[in-house]
Structure 1
Amino acid sequence: MSKISSIKEYVLLHAEWDAQLRQLIGVMEQTELSASIKWGAPVYSLDGKNVIGLGAFKNHIAIWFFQGVFLKKNTALLVNAQEGKTKALRQIRFERNDNISNASIIPYIEEAIANQKAGLELKAKPKSLEIPEELEAILNGNKLLKDAFHDLSPGKQKEYAQYIAEAKKQATRTNRIKKIEPLISQGKGLNDRYRK
C-alpha cells in the first residue's frame, strides 16, 4: 500500500465514503485548524497539537476528538472507541446511510477547539516498573549489577523486566537472567544490537 500524502488521496482511497468525507472535510476547512496527514489519515491541529482526525473504515467513518474526554457540552453522539483502554480519545461514528448534519457536528468541533485553546489535555501516566522476583533477587544480591540496572534508561529496564517475566518456565527465566547479567553490567539494553 502506498503512503497517503494528501487529503485528496485519502478521499480517493476511500471512494465508497466520498460524499461523507468531502462533507466533513468541508466543515473542517471552515475552522482555524491546520490540516495534515498523520498515521495515513487526515488530522487537524492547532498550534501543533492534534485536535481532530477523520477516519474511514469498512463499516463506518468517524470524527476523532483527540481530547474528547473534555467535551462536556456536546456528548450525545460521542463514543469511546475502546472502552477501558482509550482514555482521552472520543469519536462520532457514521454508518453508510446516516445523514450527517453539519449543524449537529459543528458544536463538537467548536468545543474541541475551545478546549485546546484552554490547554485541556489528558496526559498518559507512566506505568510503574514491575521487576520479576528472580531479577529482583539477583539485583539485590549484587550491588554493582543493581547500580548498573538503575543507571539504565526506564525503557531498557522495562525491556529486561518483560524479557524475564514473559518466560513461562523457571529454567528459562534462570537462563535468561544469566544471559542478561553481562549486558546490564556493560550498561547495554537488551535490544541495543537492533537499534541504529
Structure 2
Amino acid sequence: MKDLKTGEWTKYNGNWTEANDKIQQVVNETELVKEFKWGGDIYTFNKKNVLAFSGFKNHFALWFHNGVFLKDPYKVLVNANEEKTRALRQWRFNSADEIDVEKVREYVLEAIQLVKDGKEIKPQKSMPKEVSGILRKTLNQDNKLFTSFKTLSPGKQKEYIEYIDEAKQEKTKISRIEKIKPMIMEGKGLNDKYRK
C-alpha cells in the first residue's frame, strides 16, 4: 500500500515483491473485492473489511480485520497495538520465504467465513472527551473557532482532542493546533480526507 503523504510504498515495494505476489495469489482465489481505503488496498466481503497486506522496512504484514476471532492454529497472529486495537490481528513475515501459501489460505478462508457468519466486534461508543489544556485555552480565546468546534460532531471533536493530547511537547501541541484551526473553521474532521 502507498502512504499518500510520504510515498513510502514505492520505497519498500521493491523489497517485498515476492511476498506481495504470494499473498495476492491466495487473495485472487477468493471472493474478496479490492477497495481503496485509508490510502491503500483493503480486501472486503459484502462491504466488510476482511484483510490488507503491505511491505514495510523490516517486515511484510498481513492484517485480518476481525483476526481476534481466528483460531490461529499456528500461533502467528499478534495484536500490533494493544492500547487501541480490539479486533485487528497481524501476521508478520521477515522474508518471502517465511510465507507458507497453504497456511495463509487457511487463515484467509476462515476470515471470509467469519464475515459470512456475522462475527465482528462493534465499535465502542465512547463518551465525548473533555477539552483541556492548550486546546481549551485556544478555543476560549477565539469565539469563532470555539463555535466552529462545538458544531463538529462528537466524533470529530474527539479526533481533534486526541490529536492534541497525544503530543508530548508543548511546542508540538501548539504547531498541531495551528495546523487544525483552518480545518475546524471549515467544519472538517481531522481524518475526513481518508473517508469516502
Q: TM-score, normalised by structure 1?
A: 0.64
Residue aligning to 1:106: 105
Q: Gapped runs of 5+ residues in structure 2?
A: 158-180, 189-196
> Are 2:140 and 2:146, in contact at CA under 8 Å, matched by a contact in 1?
no
User: Alignment identity in percent?
Assistant: 32
Q: Give me the whole-angstrom Cα distance separating, in 1, the residues matched to 2:17 and 2:53.
A: 13
Q: Give me the whole-angstrom Cα distance separating, in 1, the residues matched to 2:62 and 2:124.
A: 25
Deviation at 1:120, TM superposition (A): 1.0
Matched, 1:193 2:185: yes
Q: Give me the whole-angstrom Cα distance separating, in 1, the residues matched to 2:38 and 2:78.
A: 21
Tell me which amino acid in the other structure corresponds to 1:66. Answer: H
Q: Which sits farther off after the overlay, 11-20 or 96-105?
A: 11-20
Matched, 1:166 2:152: no
**Closer, same or farther in 2 for the Cα pair 1:179/1:78, shift >3 Å?**
same
The higher radius of gyration belongs to 1
Indicate the structure whose relative CO is greater, using CA pairs within 8 Å and at least 6 residues apart: 2
Matched, 1:87 2:97: no
1:2-49 superposed Cα distances (whole Å, 9 cap, x missing partner): 95xxxxxx6896011111111110111011111233333332110111
Residue aligning to 1:145: none
Runs of 4+ with deviation above 6 angstroms: 10-13
Alignment of 1:30-109 (within 5 A): 30-72=29-71, 74=73, 76-96=75-95, 98-109=97-108
1:122-171 superposed Cα distances (whole Å, 9 cap, x missing partner): 122122135xxxxxxxxxxxxxxxxxxxxxxxxxxxxxx42xx1239xxx
Secondary structure of the 1:167 match is helix
Matched, 1:129 2:121: no
Q: Give me the whole-angstrom Cα distance separating, in 1, the residues matched to 2:118 and 2:64.
A: 14
Tell me which amino acid in the other structure corresponds to 1:167. Answer: I
Secondary structure of the 1:14 match is helix
Q: Give me the whole-angstrom Cα distance separating, in 2, the residues matched to 1:177 and 1:11.
A: 44
**Closer, same or farther in 2 for the Cα pair 1:126/1:54, shift >3 Å?**
same
Deviation at 1:85, TM superposition (A): 2.0
Q: Tell me how many residue pairs correspond in the alignment.
A: 152
Matched, 1:25 2:24: yes
> Are 1:59 and 1:95, in contact at CA under 8 Å, matched by a contact in 2?
yes
Secondary structure of the 1:124 match is coil
> Are 1:12 and 1:18, in contact at CA under 8 Å, matched by a contact in 2?
no
